[in-house]
Structure 1
Amino acid sequence: MAERRFPSAERWLVPATLVLVHLVLAFLSASPSIHTGGDNAAYVSLANSLASEGRYVESWHPGAPPHTKYPPLYPAVLALMMLLGAKTWGAFKVASMMFTGLAVAACFLMVRKARGPRAAVAVSALFAVAPAVLFSAQWILADPLFMVLTLACLWLLTPDPDVSTRSLVLGLVAATAAYFTRSAGLPLLIAVVVWLALQRRWRPLAAFAGLFAVPGLLWQLRAGADYVSEFWLVNPYAPDLGRAGPMELVGRVAENLWTYTTEYVPAGLTGLDGLPAGTIGMLLAALALAGWVRRMRAGPQVSEIFFFLYVGLIVAWPAAWSGDRFALPILPLLLLYAGESAALMFRRLRAGDAEAAWLPWLGGAAVVAAGAVFLIPAGKTWYQRAERAAQCRAVVETVGPMGCYPGTVGELHAMALWAGRNLPEGSVVFSRKPRLFHVFSGLPSVTYPFTTDGRSLLTEADSMDVRYLVRGNWDTTGRLYVDPVLSASPNRFCVVAQLGYDRESPVSMLAIMPPVSDDVTVPDETAYAVLPCPDAVDHTLPSAAEIASMTVPILDQ
C-alpha cells in the first residue's frame, strides 16, 4: 500500500515524539541493578575479550575456549564502546535503551509504509509503552539491537509500491546483521530468500547469497551443531533429560503456543496476567491470524513470511527458552494484523448499514476502548516499575550494583571482589554463577555439578584443575549439592575466607585440597567440619567504595 503522508513538518515530528516518550519512560523505569542471569555478564565478558585481546573467547571458562553460542555482532558493539572508554554498567544499559528507541522508530516507519500514518501512530504508540519493550531497555542483552535490525529490514523491504534498489541493498544488509546479532534471526534470512524467489529477483537473491555465504559459513564452521543440538533437548539446562521425541515436540509446540497466546504476548503488551491477559491474548491472536491470512492471500511480503517462520521457531524451541522478550520482534506485526482485521470488520458493518449515524461514533468508541485496554494496564505497570527503580537507585548509590537484591546475592559480589584481589591469578573457582563471578573477579569459574555424588564434584575439580569453591547462599543449590560433598570428604577442603551477611551460614571460599587417598566416605547425617587453611590470607571485606562502584571490575583491572 502506498504510504500516505503527514504534512512535511509532522512527518518526522511524530516518530521523534514517540521515541522521546519511550526513552523517558524507559529511563525512569529502568533498574540500575545488574541482571542476576549470566547472559548479561557473558556479553560483557565476550566484548572485553574482543576489545582487549582481539579474540572471541569465553574468558570466564578455564582455558578460554572459543565462544560458539552467541553471534558476535552485539558483543562487537559493546567492544567498540569499551575502546571508546565505556567502563560502567550504566553505559552499556544506555546503549540498550538507545536501541529500543530506534526500534520504536523502525516500527513506526514500517507500519507507515505498510498501512499509513494513522496505523503507524497507533501501533508504534502501543509498542513504545509495552512493558516487555521497556523492560528490555534496561538489560545488557542482544534483544534491543535484534529488534532494530529486524524491524528496519521489514521496513526497507516493504513495497511502496515497489522496493527501490537502495532499500533492497540496505534491507539485505539489515537481515544479515540481524542473524549475526541473534541466531533467532534465521527466520528473517529465510523469509528474505523466499520473498526474492517469489518475486523472481534472481540477481538480488544471488547477491544476498554471496553477502551471507562467507561470514555465515565461517560462523557455522566455528559454532558447529552446538546450538542446534540444544534445540532438540527436552530442557537445555538439564541435558540429562535427553532429546525430545516426536510426541514431546508436538506437546511442546502446543504448550508454547498456548503460553505465548495467553501469557507472554498479552503480558508483554499490557503487564496483565491471569484471565484478563488470556482474554486479550486470545482475541488479539484471532484478529492477527485473520489479518495475516488476508495479507498472505493478497501476496506474501517479507513481513508475512517472517511472521510465520518466527512464530514457528519460538513455539517449537524448548519451553525453558520461552518468554515475552522472544516475542518482541513480532509485536508490531501482531498489532498491525489485528488492527487491520478490526478495521475491516468495521468497514463491512458500515457497508451493511451505510445510513446509520451511530456507526462513526461506535468506531471512535471502539478505538478509544481498545487503546484503553492496552494503555491503562501498561501505564500502571510502568508506574509500579518506576517506583521500584527510584527506590533501587537510592540503594545502589551506596550498596552497589547488586544492592537491590537480597543479601545472599550481594554475598557473591563481595566474595568475587575479594577473590579477584586475594586468590592467585588464573585460579579456577567453582561458583553458582560463573559468568557473574568472572566479571566481578577476573578469575575463570565454572558451575559446580548439581549432584550429591561427592565423586562427581571432586573428579571434575581434579580434571579441570579447579582449586577453589564458593559455598554461598544464592539459592538452595549450595545446601543441596555442596554440603553433602563437604560432609562426605571434609579432608578435601579447607576454609580460605568467610565473608558473610548471614552469620549462621556465611559465604565461604574453600580451597580444594589434593586427594589423600581414593577412598570417599559415604555421606551421613552428621555435621561436617571443614578446617581453616593453614596459610592465612586477608579476610577483610572489600571496601564500601569497591562494592558501591558501578564500574565493571574486569574493565578496571
Structure 2
Amino acid sequence: MLKTILSNRIFISISYISILLLAFLKIYSSIFDEKISLVGDNASYYILGTAIANGEGYTNIHHKEKEAHYHYPPGYPLLIAGVSKVFSNDIISIKNFNGILLFGSILLLFFLVKCLTENNNIAFAVSFITLLNYHILEYSTIMMSEIPFLFFSLVGILLTLKIDFSKPVFKNGRFVLLVICVTFSFYIRSVALALLISIAFFLLLKKHWKYLYSFIGGFALLYFPWMLRNWNAVGNTYVSQLSLKNPYQPELGTVSFSEIIDRIILNLERYITKEIPSGLVQVGDIIYDDVAVPIIIWFLGFLLLGGIAFGIYKLPKFRILIASYILAFFGLLLLWPSVWYGTRFLVPIIPLLLFLLIFGILQLLMLLRKKVASRRIRYFVPVTMVLILSIWTFAYGKQSIPKLKEKAAGVYANNYKNYFEIAKLINKKASENTVTSVRKEGLFYLVSEKYVTGFQKTLDREAQIEYLKSKHVNYVVVDQLGFSATSKYLVPVIDRYPNKFKTILELKNPNTYLMEFLPDLGYTGAWENDKRNGFGTYLWEDGQKYEGFWKDDVRHGKGTVFFKNGENLSGVWTNGKLNGEVIKKDKNGIVIEKSNYQNNVKVEVIEEVN
C-alpha cells in the first residue's frame, strides 16, 4: 500500500509542491524587505501604476506637465494598477504581489522541468535551488519587472510545450493564450523579443505554417496600439538609448559598427566572468573594477557554460525551443550598452540556466557511469546527484538567506538618509506646485509627494539654466548618491552661477544640499574663456540691476544701473570702475543729473535738474 502511494506520480508531485510552498512561505517571510528599493526603476513603475489606477493614463504624474510616458513598457504598471484597484496601492501590497508571482514562477518551473525530463525529482531539485537563489529572492521583494516577466515567460514556454498542433489554429485555446501571454511579456520587458523569436523559430522548423503566421500576426495585432502610440515618441526611449555610446553620457554621440563589435566582446567577457557565475552559484553583489580577472574565474565561467550547453544537448525534447530562447536572450543582452550591467538582467533566465546546468551534471554522471564506473554500482548516479545537490543547497542557502535577512533589517546609508531627509522637508514645507530638480526623480517623489524633474545631461551650462527655467524649478538637490551626473552636469552650473542657487539646507556626512533656484538673480549674458565677456545683466537680491558690457568678469564699457526706486544711472565702466560722464534719470526717464566720475567716485556735477 505504502509502496503504491510512494510510486504514484501525482502524490509525489503534490508532496513536492507542498514542500515548495512551505519553504517559500518560510523563506519569503524571513527575507521580505519593506523598504523602498534604491533602484530608481521600482519607484517609476509604482508611479506609472498609480497613474493608471487613478485614471490619469500612462503619464508622468510626478512631473508638473504630466506628459505621456514612453520609456518603460506598460505591462508591469498595468499589473500594479490592477493590484491597487482590487486590493491596495500601498507599496507592501505591490511587493507581496511580486512574491505571489515568484511562487507562481516556481510552480511553473516545476511543471516545465517535469514536462521536459518526465522526472519529478529533477523538477523538485531545480525548483528548490531556484527558490534559494539570492538574486531571484532579492528581486521578488522589489517593485521591479524581472519577476513578473519571469512568470509570464515561463507560462509562454510551458504553453508552447503543451499545445496540440493538430487542432485548428483558432479553436486552440492554449495557442490563443500563448499569443496573449507572449505579447504581454513584451509589454513587461522588451527582452521578450527573445521569446518571440524562439517560439517563431520553433514553429518554423516544425513547419507549423498556420500557427507561425497566426503567432506573428496575432502578436503584431496586439502590439500595434502601443507601437502606434510611440510612433512619434522622442527622447528617453529604449531604442534611442541603444544607439548611444553611453545612455548616461549622451554627449558622446551614437555608436559605430566597430564600437558595436567592441560592445559585444566586452559584454560577453563580463557575462562569462561576472554575471553568469554570480547568477548561478555566487551570493551577493558583484564588484566591478578594472582588475584583471583571475584564470580561475574564467575557468568557472566556462565550466558553467559547458554544463549548460551539455544540458541543452542532452534534452530529450524541445531542445531547439530552449536553446534558441537562451541564445536569443543572450544575443539581446550582448547588444545592450556596456554600462547596462548587473545580474538583474539575467534574473528572468536564471531558473532555466539552473535547470540546464543541473540536468547537464546529471547527464554527465550518467555518461561517467556508463563509460567508467562499474555497472554493479547501481546507485552511483542518484547517490552522487543527491550528494551534489544537497551540498549545493546547504552551502548556497546558508549564505543567501542570512544575507537577504541582513539586507531587509538594514537601514539606508547616510547619503540616502540625507536625500530622503530633504524630500521630507519638501513634503512638509513646500507648496503643492513646487518643482524640485533631483537625481532619481521617482524615489524623491514617493517621499516628497511634490513635483520633480531631472536635469539635462549637457555640458552647456547656459542650456542647463534654460532647462531648469523651462521646467519651473524651485529647488535643486545636490546629492552624494554615488553617480557622476550631479557633479558633471549640475555642479558646474552652480559654480558658474552661485547667485542663482541659494542654500536652504546643508546636511553633513556626506555633504548634501537643498538649494533654492533663483534664475533671475546674478549674471545672465555672454561668456568667453569661462568669464563674463560681452553684453550681460546682473541682478542683486535688493533689486538693483546692471545692464551693459563686461570684460573678464567685471563691468567694462557702456552700461546702466537700475535702482529699486526706479531711478537709473548710465555711463562707461573701465575695469569695473565708473569713469567719465554719467547721466542719472528718474523712473519716468527724465534726466535729473549729469556728472563726472573717476574710479567710481563722483568728482563733478555738470548739470542738476531740481
Q: Indicate the TM-score class for this superposition, using the shorter chain for normalisation.
A: 0.7 to 0.9
Look up the equivalent residue of 1:357 and give its one-letter code.
Answer: R
- Whether the aligned pair in 2 keeps the contact of 1:112 and 1:120 (CA below 8 Å) is yes
Deviation (angstroms), 1:230: 1.5
Q: What is the aligned partner in structure 2 of residue 316 from structure 1? A: 335
- After the TM superposition, which of the residue ranges 119-128 and 144-153 deviates more from structure 2? 119-128
Q: What is the aligned partner in structure 1 of residue 514 from structure 2? A: 508
Matched, 1:148 2:151: yes
Q: What is the aligned partner in structure 1 of residue 70 from structure 2? A: 68
For the residues of structure 1 that align with 2:110 and 2:510, how far apart are their CA atoms? Answer: 56
- Whether the aligned pair in 2 keeps the contact of 1:427 and 1:443 (CA below 8 Å) is yes
Matched, 1:305 2:324: yes
Are the structure 2 counterparts of residues 317 and 23 from structure 1 closer, same or farther at C-alpha, using a change threshold of 3 Å? Answer: farther
Picking from 452, 455, 468, the partner of 1:461 is: 468
Matched, 1:281 2:301: yes
Q: What is the aligned partner in structure 2 of residue 329 from structure 1? A: 348
Q: Deviations over 1:358-407 (max 9, x none)?
A: 473366235413542464134213212213423x3xxxxxxxxxxx1123
Q: What is the aligned partner in structure 2 of residue 111 from structure 1? A: 113
Deviation (angstroms), 1:63: 1.6
Matched, 1:486 2:498: no
Picking from 4, 9, 12, the partner of 1:10 is: 12
Q: What is the aligned partner in structure 2 of residue 25 from structure 1? A: 27
Q: What is the aligned partner in structure 2 of residue 420 from structure 1? A: 427
Are the structure 2 counterparts of residues 251 and 517 from structure 1 closer, same or farther at C-alpha, using a change threshold of 3 Å? Answer: closer
For the residues of structure 1 that align with 2:312 and 2:483, how far apart are their CA atoms? Answer: 46
Deviation (angstroms), 1:320: 2.1
For the residues of structure 1 that align with 2:445 and 2:387, how far apart are their CA atoms? Answer: 50
Look up the equivalent residue of 1:518 and give its one-letter code.
Answer: T
For the residues of structure 2 that align with 1:239 and 1:30, how far apart are their CA atoms? Answer: 37
Q: Deviations over 1:223-280 (max 9, x none)?
A: 3473223123222222222222223222222222232222212212333578676544
Are the structure 2 counterparts of residues 506 and 107 from structure 1 closer, same or farther at C-alpha, using a change threshold of 3 Å? Answer: closer
Q: What is the aligned partner in structure 2 of residue 93 from structure 1? A: 95
For the residues of structure 2 that align with 1:533 and 1:12, how far apart are their CA atoms? Answer: 79
Q: What is the aligned partner in structure 1 of residue 311 from structure 2? A: 291
Q: Deviations over 1:451-509 (max 9, x none)?
A: 675423312222333232223444475566544433432332334x32x5428945323
Look up the equivalent residue of 1:178 and give its one-letter code.
Answer: S
- After the TM superposition, which of the residue ranges 93-102 and 421-430 deviates more from structure 2? 421-430
For the residues of structure 2 that align with 1:118 and 1:363, how far apart are their CA atoms? Answer: 10
Q: What is the aligned partner in structure 2 of residue 199 from structure 1? A: 206
Matched, 1:386 2:436: no
Deviation (angstroms), 1:59: 1.9
- Whether the aligned pair in 2 keeps the contact of 1:261 and 1:281 (CA below 8 Å) is yes
For the residues of structure 1 that align with 2:401 and 2:540, how far apart are their CA atoms? Answer: 50
Look up the equivalent residue of 2:303 and give its one-letter code.
Answer: L
Count of paired positions: 511
Please report the TM-score for the alignment, with normalisation by the length of structure 1. 0.82
For the residues of structure 1 that align with 2:20 and 2:387, how far apart are their CA atoms? Answer: 18
Matches within 5 A, 1:408-557: 408-449=415-456, 454-475=461-482, 481-495=489-503, 497-498=504-505, 500-502=506-508, 505=511, 507-514=513-520, 518-519=524-525
Look up the equivalent residue of 1:308 and give its one-letter code.
Answer: L
- Whether the aligned pair in 1 keeps the contact of 2:445 and 2:451 (CA below 8 Å) is yes
Q: Deviations over 1:266-300 (max 9, x none)?
A: 2123335786765443212112123324559x765
Which has more helix, going by share of residues? 1
Deviation (angstroms), 1:134: 0.8
- Whether the aligned pair in 2 keeps the contact of 1:19 and 1:102 (CA below 8 Å) is no
Matched, 1:405 2:412: yes
Matched, 1:130 2:133: yes
- Whether the aligned pair in 2 keeps the contact of 1:158 and 1:302 (CA below 8 Å) is no
Are the structure 2 counterparts of residues 194 and 261 from structure 1 closer, same or farther at C-alpha, using a change threshold of 3 Å? Answer: same
Look up the equivalent residue of 1:53 and give its one-letter code.
Answer: G
Are the structure 2 counterparts of residues 362 and 49 from structure 1 closer, same or farther at C-alpha, using a change threshold of 3 Å? Answer: closer
For the residues of structure 2 that align with 1:45 and 1:195, how far apart are their CA atoms? Answer: 38
For the residues of structure 2 that align with 1:242 and 1:409, how far apart are their CA atoms? Answer: 31
Q: What is the aligned partner in structure 2 of residue 346 from structure 1? A: 365
Please report the TM-score for the alignment, with normalisation by the length of structure 2. 0.75
Q: What is the aligned partner in structure 2 of residue 43 from structure 1? A: 45
Q: What is the aligned partner in structure 1 of residue 376 from structure 2? A: 357
Are the structure 2 counterparts of residues 49 and 360 from structure 1 closer, same or farther at C-alpha, using a change threshold of 3 Å? Answer: same
Three-state SS of the structure 1 residue aligned to 2:266 is helix
Q: What is the aligned partner in structure 2 of residue 238 from structure 1? A: 249
- Whether the aligned pair in 1 keeps the contact of 2:160 and 2:178 (CA below 8 Å) is yes
- Whether the aligned pair in 2 keeps the contact of 1:192 and 1:302 (CA below 8 Å) is yes
Q: Which runs of 5+ in 2 are unaligned?
A: 1-6, 287-292, 532-538, 544-610
For the residues of structure 2 that align with 1:375 and 1:185, how far apart are their CA atoms? Answer: 33
Are the structure 2 counterparts of residues 254 and 379 from structure 1 closer, same or farther at C-alpha, using a change threshold of 3 Å? Answer: farther
Are the structure 2 counterparts of residues 309 and 130 from structure 1 closer, same or farther at C-alpha, using a change threshold of 3 Å? Answer: same
Are the structure 2 counterparts of residues 15 and 326 from structure 1 closer, same or farther at C-alpha, using a change threshold of 3 Å? Answer: farther
Are the structure 2 counterparts of residues 59 and 490 from structure 1 closer, same or farther at C-alpha, using a change threshold of 3 Å? Answer: same
Look up the equivalent residue of 1:283 and give its one-letter code.
Answer: L
Looking at both structures, which has the greater relative contact order when contacts are Cα pairs under 8 Å and sequence separation is at least 6? 1
Deviation (angstroms), 1:112: 0.4
Q: What is the aligned partner in structure 2 of residue 553 from structure 1? A: none
Q: What is the aligned partner in structure 2 of residue 247 from structure 1? A: 258
Are the structure 2 counterparts of residues 426 and 244 from structure 1 closer, same or farther at C-alpha, using a change threshold of 3 Å? Answer: same
Q: What is the aligned partner in structure 2 of residue 555 from structure 1? A: none
For the residues of structure 2 that align with 1:366 and 1:294, how far apart are their CA atoms? Answer: 16
- After the TM superposition, which of the residue ranges 14-23 and 305-314 deviates more from structure 2? 14-23
Are the structure 2 counterparts of residues 366 and 504 from structure 1 closer, same or farther at C-alpha, using a change threshold of 3 Å? Answer: closer
- Greater Rg by CA: 2
For the residues of structure 2 that align with 1:304 and 1:142, how far apart are their CA atoms? Answer: 24
Q: Deviations over 1:83-128 (max 9, x none)?
A: 2352332222111111111111111110001112122112112111
Please tell me the root mean square deviation across aligned C-alpha atoms, in Å: 3.3
Are the structure 2 counterparts of residues 309 and 506 from structure 1 closer, same or farther at C-alpha, using a change threshold of 3 Å? Answer: closer
Are the structure 2 counterparts of residues 356 and 293 from structure 1 closer, same or farther at C-alpha, using a change threshold of 3 Å? Answer: closer
